[in-house]
Chain A
Amino acid sequence: MLRKIKNIFRNSSDKATEKTDTRKKVENLKQFKLTKNMNDNITQLLRFMGNSFDIKTRRLKIRTLNIEAAVVYIENLVDINIVLEYIIKPLTIESASGPDKTALADPFDIIKDSMLSAGAMEVAESYDDIVFAVMLGDTFLCIDGYSKGIVISTKGYTGRSVSDPNIEPSVKGPKEGFVEILGDNLCLIRRKIRDPNLTFEKHIIGRRTKGLVVIAYIRGITKPEFVSEVRNRIQAIDIDDHVDEAKIAHFIVEHPKSIFPQVKTSERPDKVTSALLEGQVAIIIEGLPTVIITPVTLPSLLQSADDYHENAYIASLIRLTRYFNLIVSALFPATYVAITSFHPGVLPTNLALSIASARAGVPFPAIMEAIAMEITLEILEEAGKRLPKVVGQTVSIVGGLVIGQAAIQAGIVSPIMVIVISFTAIASFTIPDYSLNLASRILRIPFMLLATVLGAYGIAIGCLYVLGYLCSLKNMGISYLEPITPYQVRDWKDSFIRTSYGTTEMRPDFLSPEDTINQRMGKIKKIKKEMEDNGQ
């Protein structure tokens, strides 16, 4: 019996080693080099790539050099026009006539330097470079008689064009959002910052997906430690696929288990741009329309693009409302539960009586009612998200209006609880960062439970715990609540409120930027003074 079990284990471990073998094969492509025989090379390459049907090989003969060559590319990843016009055409038609150039120089160099009219190209010798390049959409040109080939950049896959940001719409700001194509995203940032110091650093993540991940920062503003920290962490990532921003974020942050988002994800180029200009680091991932910004703090998660398109007073008011909403979103149902079941004395008498009368027929205690409503809300939201947009309207009508109304009339929930939960939900939607919104939603339930057991005292305990926890959260040496605590009064100009632009001459201090000055007010002040003097 025991032996049998042992055998099973042995078998499974054998299988495991087998698996790692195949995996090693993929990884160890580096060992394999091109040979001088073109046909061997091509078959070897196709074998490595599993002989998939979409890999196309075009053999050709270059007349003037009297040499054979082959072009390998993946049909749907390349821009076929480039392949035809700038690679195949010059090698075949244009070289069909003309003098023999064999004597002039090494044919390989002639092909590379003077025959191909495509843009970027590289010489490749090992298979891993070639396979990876072909997978990216480049074209491999293999020349007979050489143990090296040419990789020509012909990437040309199609994707969505730049359109409105869906998750973070703004009233006045630019109406463009990131898309899934890395190049387009880089271009969106480049177009906004024409500073040669803007640096894009390429990294490849994913054993199998080999996704491009770009670290963007501005040299001379961003603290170099941030960049090296991010770089080290990204280089250390060793996973199969890269296709989730949450996955990347998980490896970058210091407390990945926290419910609070410690990176900002944004689909707005203007947001990323201003983050870069403040000295943060952006991580752009291939295939994702969201960009990760790090390091972030709680106050910066509550900033929205619209704050910067409005007058300072209006922006400050809106921002304060947002802080209020964050608190409401986490605490309002709990407060309601605490007040109705522990402290009805704090209510104005008439309100206490009307709440009591509203609750008079409800068969459940306040906490059950609250949790039931909360679950209903989650179901409604999830249904709204999953359904196609056309049907989505039905959910809100049936769910929100019909069920809500009927539940009140049937006496299952009290109308006041419906008000409380809907107000909370609406308040939570004003939080600009969706992950923070979700975090506040998660906090709601434990707070409600605390309120049920201990009343306002329980809420106080919960708040203390959460505050303490927030204070202890740190990323790259920056506290989560900075600049509130540890306090840096100068940075308060852009935290709870946003002071007018004239007063923010310095970049936020907590990011310790190398170049601290943001605006130079000297000239404006001088002009103003001159105008005043002239006026008098």
Chain B
Amino acid sequence: MKRLILVLILMFALCMTGCWDRKDIETRGFVLGIAIDDYPPIPEGRTVSPEETQPEEEKKFEVMQIHEGKPMYAMTIQIPIVKKSLLRSPFGQGVESNGSKSYELTQIGNSFFAMNREMASRIELTPYYEHLQAIVISDTLARKGLHEILDFFLRDHEMRRRTMLCISDGEAKKILDVVPRIEDYSSLVLARLPLNSTVNSRIIHETDLGRAIASIHDRDDFLLPRVEATKDEIKSSGAAVFKENKMVGWATPIEVEYIAHIRGSYEGGLITAKDPNNEEAIITLEITSSRRKITPIIENNKPKFKIDLKIKGSIAEFTNREYHKLINKKDINKIVKVFENKIKNECEATIKNIQEKYGADVFHFNIILKTQMPEYWETINEKWHDIFKDVEADVNVQVRIQNVGNIR
């Protein structure tokens, strides 16, 4: 009897926990990317020419019945068509299928969860989000606020915080519609582009869902990558500047480079300058390491920042140079000076520009203050954005050239 009770208890324990959602892998629709646009796409009052609109027939299913309110968002998911991918034919007689290997499905509504479930009525695969790679948000929506949109993507258990987040200049769906040349799915391209930030500092990395939300809750300002697309290419160029929850504008690719220097998130890249001896020649410095140290100073109850940049690099290229002349130590010193000045000026200009245009502290000066002067920070916490606008920054740059790579 005792044994029976024990067995029963164990059976109950067994039944009350665990995962019962058995579903074979091929019946799941792996959602690789999501694009979120606002709806209606065209501001009220503006009329659209008949050529611009898509045929009604194709858009027939996009509209759904809504319980409450009116449709605000258009959500597009990208589901791979696995039957078209390579492993189908293990013996090399693969059908080289042209065109898209994925299916982009749009639904219009105001609750993402409802839209997601509505899609299940249009596709035989169950949408499954654990492999979600990237979320693209159109800039018009981002300007209205980010957190409002992302709630579902944080609350749902299938979502992962390491999902890439990017902002499209224009319609977000266009980014997902791209059929890339190498990779099969545009979302995978989006997810992998940031990995190149070790060679190109214009690419923004550390921009996943989790970090963005953490920044919003900490009331930090941040950058998200701006993506553009043609028919078969996606480019990460520049960044969307966010002031707390709302997007305020764009930063140019070159600004992104200097922001990375100042923020200390520089992973590798390059800088070019003119040869001081020869106006025609262009020197390229490959930057292998950039270390920054920011010291906050308080003058007249106003914070001021002393930024020390230590940059190491090697000369990667010397275009248009007279080939028989070797670089000597004097030249190197001159070159170093040129680079130091250039970086200093550009950094200061970038800070100035961002301060004036957006007033968004994408350099994370507030984090420096918070960690190094917590008492002072408490006093200015509330009005930081006003203070930031006229914060002074003094940039000191020290460049060390490690390899010259003389060729003879």
Q: Which 9 pairs show the lowest CB-CB distances between chains A and B?
A: A345-B130, A357-B82, A457-B18, A340-B25, A359-B26, A356-B82, A354-B87, A357-B85, A349-B131
Taking the complex as formed, is A230 at the interface, i.e. its CB lies under 8 A from any CB of chain B? Answer: no
Taken together as a complex, chains A and B put the C-alpha atoms of A508 and B184 apart, in Å, by 58
Inter-chain contact A458/B25, CB cutoff 8 Å: no
Q: What are 7 A-B residue pairs whose CB atoms fall within 8 Å in the complex?
A: A341-B22, A341-B25, A344-B128, A358-B87, A360-B88, A455-B22, A458-B18
Pair B130/A360 contact, Cβ less than 8 Å: no
Chain A contacts to B: CB under 8 angstroms? 340-345, 349-350, 352-362, 365-366, 408-409, 415, 452-458, 461
A408 touches B90 (CB 8 A): yes
Tell me whether chain B's interface is mostly helix, strand or loop, or mixed: loop
**What's the nearest-Cβ distance from chain A to residue B297, in Å?**
48
Query: A411 to nearest B CB, angstroms?
Result: 10
The residue in B17, B26, B86, B160 that gathers the most chain A C-beta atoms within 10 A of its C-beta is B26
Contact B87 A457 (CB under 8 A): no
Count contacts between A and B, CB distance < 8 Å: 86
Choose one: A342, A352, A359, A457; the contact of B131 (CB below 8 Å): A352
Please tell me if the beta carbons of A341 and B30 are within 8 angstroms of each other in the complex.
no
Cβ-defined contact, B30 with A356, below 8 A: yes
Whether B19 lies near A362 (C-beta < 8 A) is no
Q: Which residues of B contact A355 (CB under 8 A)?
A: 25
Docked Cα-Cα span, A458 to B19, in Å, equals 9
Report B-chain residues with C-beta under 8 Å of the C-beta of A361: 83, 88
List residues of chain B with CB under 8 Å of any chain A CB.
14, 17-26, 28, 30, 32, 80, 82-83, 85-88, 90-91, 128, 130-131, 133, 158, 160, 188
With A455-B19, A457-B19 already in contact, the answer to whether A356 and B88 are too (CB < 8 A) is: no
A366 contacts which chain B residues (CB < 8 A)? Answer: 24-25
- What is the CA–CA distance of A456 and B83 in the complex, to the nearest angstrom? 27
Please name all residues of chain A whose beta carbon is closer than 8 Å to the beta carbon of B133 when the two chains form the complex. 349
Q: A360-B82, A408-B90 are in contact. Are A352 and B30 (CB under 8 A)?
A: yes
Contact call A356/B18, Cβ cutoff below 8 A: no
* Known pairs A345-B131, A415-B90; A354 contacts B21 (CB<8 A): no
Measured between alpha carbons, how far is A455 from B24 in the docked complex, in Å? Answer: 12
Which residues of B sit under 8 angstroms from A409, Cβ to Cβ?
90-91
Which residue, of A340, A352, A356, A360, has the highest number of chain B Cβ atoms within 10 A? A356
Quick one: closest A residue to B90, CB to CB?
A415
Among B25, B82, B86, B133, which residue has the most Cβ atoms of chain A within 10 A? Answer: B25
Question: Which residues from A are CB-within-8-Å of B14?
Answer: 454, 461
Inter-chain contact A349/B188, CB cutoff 8 Å: yes
Question: Nearest Cβ distance between residue B120 and chain A, in whole angstroms?
Answer: 17
Nearest opposing residue in chain A for B131, CB measure: A349
- On chain A, the residues within 8 Å of B130 by CB distance are 344-345
Q: A415-B87, A455-B22 are in contact. Are A356 and B28 (CB under 8 A)?
A: yes
Whether A353 contacts B80 by the Cβ 8 Å rule is yes
Q: Which of B22, B85, B188 touches A342 (beta carbons < 8 Å)?
A: B22
Instruction: Give chain B residues whose Cβ lies under 8 Å from the Cβ of A345.
Output: 130-131, 158, 160
Bound state CA distance, A366 and B32, in angstroms?
Answer: 23
Q: Which residue of B lies closest to A346 (CB)?
A: B130
CA distance A340 to B17 in the complex (A): 20
Q: Is the CB of A340 within 8 A of B24?
A: yes
A453's nearest neighbour on chain B, judged by CB, is: B22
A337 CB to nearest B CB, Å: 10
Pairwise interchain contact B26-A362, C-beta atoms closer than 8 A: yes
A360 to B82, CA, bound (A): 7
Q: Which residues of A contact B86 (CB under 8 A)?
A: 354, 357
Q: A341-B24, A344-B128, A355-B25 are known contacts; what are 19 more A-B pairs with Cβ within 8 Å?
A: A341-B23, A342-B19, A342-B21, A344-B25, A345-B158, A349-B188, A350-B188, A353-B30, A353-B85, A354-B85, A356-B30, A356-B82, A357-B82, A357-B85, A359-B26, A361-B88, A408-B90, A454-B20, A455-B18
A353, A359, A366 pick with most chain B CB within 10 angstroms: A353
